[in-house]
Structure 1
Amino acid sequence: MVYIHVTHIAALLSSCVSFGLIIWSRRWDGDVGVLCVFCWAFSFIGSLLSLLMEIFTFHKSVRLLFWRNILTTISSYAALFCLNASIIFPHYFLKGQEDNEFYSHCIVAEIFSCIATLGHLAEVWIMWIESKCYMATGPGLLLVSQTYIASAIFFFLANAVSFKDHPAVIWSLAVYCTCFICTFASIICCAFQNKHNRIWLKGFNLIAAVMYLSASWPVFQLSQDLGQIVGPGSCQDDLGLWPETRLIVVVALTALNFLLYLLSVCCCCMLPSNDDEEEEEKEHRPSSNTSDPCPTQTSDETRAVLPVARTRDLQQYNTTSSNVILRRTDLRIEQPSINIHNSNVQIIVKT
């Protein structure tokens, strides 16, 4: 777990430098600036809380696997957010920048943002190798990716179209919200139980894939009908995208999430569930009947003949009879004494 602490500290310091420089410059206005600051703040707060919980051993009050699932989930979201900020930040802040001091601050913030991304990715990779938590596996990471893409869809769809003027998009928004809530609830359940319900995830992922497929059509139709979407006062946003371009991005993200839900269905079909693994362990586990203290002797059981050197000890131990019945599997000869536990194997002593 030493490597986990190193990645925590690296991500903590890097994200702190990134959003600290931008806030100090006081030029983070706009949707893109607020988004970048939110991504770095989420990385900083998540790393700080995780590090404090481990230092003061607050995590010992919960199960170890649950704590690792929480760490993996936070690191996965932080890695995606920092990656998002590292991509859109230079396109918005460094393009056409004439202030040399602010330009140098942006370069430093971009470098540390990439370092924070690598730190969180390294933490997820270490969890995937060392721990057995569910959120570090492929299905768990797919759940995180699905919710992240849904949040990106909300960001691009927010200012692209008026839902009052286009009721068909309400169905798409309802699909995105419903799938986002159900997927996030699945993440919480899997983190608590450290396993998945294969029947629930298989059915939900299949239904969500069909719903995403149906939601992409209204948005695609509206993106083609530019006369209904683009008004006379429409213009480019902070990212340089027109409203119809934002809708095309929403369609692309919808198709990507559709593929991720189909991939989750395939994973649920290929990977065995935890209940099946427990049943297989019970089947391969050797059955022992402890209620019968003296099991009967089988027909294939042969007679055990003790060494001649131990015959004298047996004669002294059994003073009442020369024929003693012992069980072969329960007879243990130890140096320098002999321990006899049961009487099921017949020992013949020749005088």
Structure 2
Amino acid sequence: MSIRRIIPAEDDVDSLCYFLRLPQVISMCMAFSLVASMGHERGAIGDWCLGIWCLCFIMTFFISMFECFYCDCKFPFFWYKLPITYACYAALLCLSTSIIYPVFYVQYLPHGPSRDRAIAASAFSCISCVLYAIDVAYTWKHYDFKTIPCYVHTLPGLLKILESFVACVIFVFLSNTSLYLHQPALEWCVAVYSICFVQVAVAMLLRLGGWENRLPLPLRIFHLGLTTLSVLLYVSALVLWPLYQFDEKLGGQPHWDSDMSCIGELIDYGCIWDQRLAVAVLTAINLLIYMVDLVYWTRQVSVGTEELYCLHSQGVSLQSSAVP
């Protein structure tokens, strides 16, 4: 059975999605082409933004080709989940690059062709963000998520998307290895971000692939354990990162004007102190998201325990009433 037989409005949604695919592909192509033409001048943050735009271009092009040639006859239910999940990530990633690239890199470029290309790339990134956001909003409005469940339309799914998205933004700043190299405490923070990101990716793949029933543990206990571990790890990162980045006794720089990269001429990474602060703020934000996730799964486990207790109590009562 195809999705078309279940959702009457699917043809209208497909029409708009097909219409959006071409400008999405063109915008992403223009953004990464403009930045790629800058050569070595693009810096570490430019490299990460280039990678995001290139990935979005490839994924959008692949989805467009698949929808044109195969979507009507193969894997309709699996395919239904992929575009909406990808569109959510693409909208968030393009939004982040539209902010990070101008704020942390473009403003430090001298006036000239490179700056003009960087500004144009930022503009195309903004256009792509709007196009992907329209894609997500229109799909959520017209698809019946009760008929065909979609992971990103649930609270744990949205939390996982936000957790992984914030981690990706943190990795953009960590591409400047001078922030943490040769400092064990800060290298531990980088390990924390990586471990938690892998955990989120595994949890999402298990859910999207329908493999959660193969876990040796109950699903609620599995997610509660992963989320608890992530919260503990992020707490350590939230303590260590600001301490070693901004405490002068530990080699940090407590003030913005103490960082020469923020008041001197252009360097490859822009203002390093701002990047340190951005990672600290994003760490706190992601910790809050993980705490919300922890509350959710704690509640799920407690509700499940209460249900088992009630069933057990009912069973004991039935056995007692059956005894003459």
Per the TM superposition, whether the score is higher than 0.5 is yes
**Cα distance in 2 for residues equivalent to 1:201 and 1:59:** 35
Match of 1:140 among 129, 141, 157: 157
Match of 1:33 among 46, 56, 65: 46
What residue is the counterpart of 1:120 in the other structure?
A: 132
**Cα distance in 2 for residues equivalent to 1:111 and 1:56:** 32
What residue is the counterpart of 1:88 in the other structure?
A: 100
Counterpart of 1:30, as a letter, is G
After TM superposition, list the pairs within 5 Å mapping 1:122-201 onto structure 2.
122-129=134-141, 130=143, 131=145, 132-157=149-174, 158-164=176-182, 166-193=183-210, 197-201=219-223
TM-score, normalised on structure 2?
0.71
Q: CA deviation at 1:149?
A: 1.8
Q: CA deviation at 1:104?
A: 5.0
Q: CA deviation at 1:126?
A: 3.2
Q: CA deviation at 1:134?
A: 1.0
Q: CA deviation at 1:251?
A: 2.1
Change (3 A) 1:107 1:160: closer
**Cα distance in 2 for residues equivalent to 1:78 and 1:111:** 16
**Cα distance in 2 for residues equivalent to 1:28 and 1:42:** 21
What's the Cα RMSD here?
Answer: 3.5
**Cα distance in 1 for residues equivalent to 2:184 and 2:78:** 42
What residue is the counterpart of 2:247 in the other structure?
A: 225
For 2:42, what is the secondary structure of its paired residue? coil
* Greater shift in the superposed pair: 143-152 or 177-186: 143-152
C-alpha offsets along residues 294-340 of structure 1, whole Å, 9 cap, x if unaligned? xxxxxxxxxxxxxxxxxxxxxxxxxxxxxxxxxxxxxxxxxxxxxxx
Q: CA deviation at 1:198?
A: 3.3
What residue is the counterpart of 1:44 in the other structure?
A: 57
What residue is the counterpart of 1:247 in the other structure?
A: 276
Structure 2's unaligned 5+ residue stretches are 1-13, 214-218, 305-324
CA contact (8 A) 1:69 1:194 kept: no
Give the percent of matched residue pairs that are identical in Structure 1 and Structure 2: 26
Counterpart of 1:4, as a letter, is C
For 2:270, what is the secondary structure of its paired residue? coil
**Cα distance in 2 for residues equivalent to 1:47 and 1:189:** 23
Counterpart of 1:262, as a letter, is M
Counterpart of 1:265, as a letter, is L
What residue is the counterpart of 2:83 in the other structure?
A: 71
What residue is the counterpart of 1:341 in the other structure?
A: none
C-alpha offsets along residues 5-47 of structure 1, whole Å, 9 cap, x if unaligned? 2232221121112222333455753112212221211221111
**Cα distance in 1 for residues equivalent to 2:72 and 2:299:** 33
Q: CA deviation at 1:76?
A: 2.3
CA contact (8 A) 1:147 1:180 kept: yes
Q: CA deviation at 1:116?
A: 0.5
**Cα distance in 2 for residues equivalent to 1:198 and 1:212:** 21
For 1:43, what is the secondary structure of its paired residue? helix
For 2:111, what is the secondary structure of its paired residue? coil
Q: CA deviation at 1:267?
A: 3.9
What residue is the counterpart of 1:304 in the other structure?
A: none
What residue is the counterpart of 2:4 in the other structure?
A: none
**Cα distance in 1 for residues equivalent to 2:72 and 2:179:** 45
CA contact (8 A) 2:244 2:252 kept: no
Change (3 A) 1:56 1:193: same
Q: CA deviation at 1:57?
A: 0.9
Structure 1's unaligned 5+ residue stretches are 276-351
The structure with the greater share of residues assigned to helix is 2
Change (3 A) 1:210 1:67: same
Change (3 A) 1:167 1:90: closer
